């Protein structure tokens, strides 16, 4: 592996940014929160293509989630995981971070559907 294959900010191969996202999307563990917090802290440092891939796939997961009315497939994980994905999506789409965003207890599934129609 060449030095230019490493993402300089985090000293990991650039492809690992997207690969790690793919690993945690839909998981139902504490790793979701850790990954989302890490991604939010480093979002501005991510290469543009990784941002595009993550943003597109996260939007697709929200579409699938909104169509899964009984939430059997867990496209975004459990409720606690969904709160993290909503927060990341807010950062991606609005370019802001607010720790009050996406408290899932205050967000109904209809609001996710409504939010989806705006994108």
Total domains in the chain come to: 1
pLDDT-based confidence at residue 12 (cuts at 50, 70, 90): confident
Q: What is the pLDDT of residues 86-112, one digit of tens each?
A: 999 999 988 755 444 433 333 444 444
Other residues' Cβ atoms within 10 Å of the Cβ of residue 23: 12
Domain enclosing residue 80, as ranges:
3-117
Q: Is a pLDDT exceeding 80 seen at residue 57?
A: yes
Q: Name the token pair of 104.
A: 């899932």
Give the integer Cα–Cα distance in Å for 6 and 16. Answer: 9
Residue 88 near residue 39 (C-beta atoms within 8 A): yes
Q: Is a pLDDT exceeding 50 seen at residue 56?
A: yes
Q: What is the pLDDT of residues 29-48, one digit of tens each?
A: 889 999 999 999 889 889 99
> Which among 111, 67, 110, 61 is positioned nearest to 101, based on CA atoms?
111
Q: Name the token pair of 116.
A: 């989806």
pTM of the entire predicted model = 0.71
SS3 74: coil
């Amino acid at each position: 592996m060449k030095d230019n294959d490493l993402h300089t900010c985090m000293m990991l191969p650039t492809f690992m940014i997207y690969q790690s996202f793919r690993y945690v999307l839909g998981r139902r563990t504490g790793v979701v929160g850790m990954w989302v917090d890490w991604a939010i802290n480093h979002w501005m440092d991510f290469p543009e293509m990784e941002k595009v891939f993550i943003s597109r796939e996260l939007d697709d997961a929200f579409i699938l989630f909104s169509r899964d009315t009984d939430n059997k497939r867990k496209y975004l994980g459990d409720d606690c995981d969904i709160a993290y994905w909503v927060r990341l999506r807010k950062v991606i789409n609005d370019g802001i971070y607010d720790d009050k965003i996406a408290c899932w207890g205050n967000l109904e599934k209809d609001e996710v559907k409504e939010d989806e129609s705006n994108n």
